[in-house]
Amino acid sequence: MKDMMKTSTAGSRARRGAPGDPLGPNSEIGRKLKQYYDELVSDDVPDRFAQLLAQLEQAEPARKKD
Amino acid sequence: MAVSQGFKTDLLGSIPSLRAFAVSLAQNADKADDLVQETLVRAWDKHASFQPGTNLKAWLFTILRNEFYSQMRKRGREVQDSDGIMTAKLAVHPAQHGQLDLKDFRTALEQLPEDQREAIILIGASGFSYEEAAEICGCAVGTIKSRVSRARAKLQEILKITGEDDYGPDAISTQVMGKPAA
């Protein structure tokens, strides 16, 4: 909470003293990390995983489902 | 106890994040998908031990991570610890400030020891809190914090980024005023 108030001084937010958010939007590394990761997350998921789950489901002992 | 539809749906929904985390750890798409597959099988088997209402993603990441390290151990490879390695492949060219290429970034990320890489990914990209990341990695919050900060320092060093968070979005003024003495 305190952090949020501190950042209200727009423009000159020196992040150096905020160890809680060294990878925030002001950080080049923080931005690149997210870009790198978002690209991976948005990759198409191969069918094999849906098939795998379907197989696992079929292998379940046929008890009542909830 | 049968696996519920909801659990299955949630598993499906978390596959993209699991794959991203797996690639970040394994640095190899095929190995990553094998990790994800193993994770799903394990999660299915032990679904009864998942407490509904708690963080499924964190639970799954924990399974995936354990699987990753146990595979590494099986392969007889020492788990890297933070110091040592590095330096070998430091051939990244210096980045112009604010124009860091994603490919260079990926190369730099690969050079981090696993424990630092996973920490910075969990915190900086996967959106976990320090507490959650500590839980996932089975270590203290302080350990995660120090790994993240070492990872960040190393990335800065490899990518030749200096004092970046002193200015952030206000990069133009730094071009005018030159590099801050950081």
Domain holding B60: CATH number?
1.10.1740.10
Claim to verify: residue B75 and residue B87 sit in the same structural domain: no
Whether residues B93 and B70 share a domain: the answer is no
Residues with Cβ within 8 Å of B108's Cβ and at least 6 positions away in sequence, in order, are B92, B155, B158, B159
Summarize the confidence of residues B117-146 as an average pLDDT: 97
- CB within 8 Å: B109 and A48: no
Higher pLDDT, B82 or A35: A35
**Could you tell me the two tokens for B179?**
């590099």
Mean pLDDT of B111-131: 96
Q: Tell whether B146 is covered by a domain.
A: yes
Q: Are B108 and B159 in contact (CB under 8 A)?
A: yes
Number of domains present in the structure of chain B: 2
Q: Tell me whether residues B41 and A52 touch, CB distance under 8 A.
A: yes
Q: Nearest chain B residue to A50 by CA: give it.
A: B12
* CA-CA-CA-CA dihedral for B159, B163, B167, B168, to nearest 10: 30
Assign residue B53 a region (left: φ > 0; alpha: ψ between -120 and 50; beta: otherwise).
Answer: left
Which residues make Cβ contacts (< 8 Å) with residue B137, sequence separation at least 6?
Answer: B65, B115, B118, B119, B122, B143, B144
Q: Which residues of A touch B44 (CB under 8 A)?
A: 53, 56
> How many other CB atoms are there within 10 angstroms of residue B1's CB atom?
9
Put simply, the answer to whether B12 touches A37 (Cβ < 8 Å) is no
Contact at CB, A36 and B105, closer than 8 angstroms: yes
d(CA B105, CA B12): 29
B181 within domain boundaries: no
Give me the residue from B40, B159, B161 closest to A52, CB to CB: B40
The answer on B87 and B158 residing in a single domain is: yes
Q: Do B12 and A53 touch (CB under 8 A)?
A: yes
Whole-model pTM above 0.90?
Answer: no
Q: Which residues of A touch B24 (CB under 8 A)?
A: 37, 40
Residues B54, B59, B60: CA angle, nearest 5 degrees: 135
Distance from CA of A25 to the nearest CA of B (A): 8
Residue B60's domain comprises 1-79
Which residues in chain A are contacts of B161 at CB distance < 8 A? 28-29
* pLDDT in the model for residue A11: 35
**Digit-coded pLDDT (tens) for B23-62:** 999 999 999 999 999 999 999 999 999 998 899 999 999 9
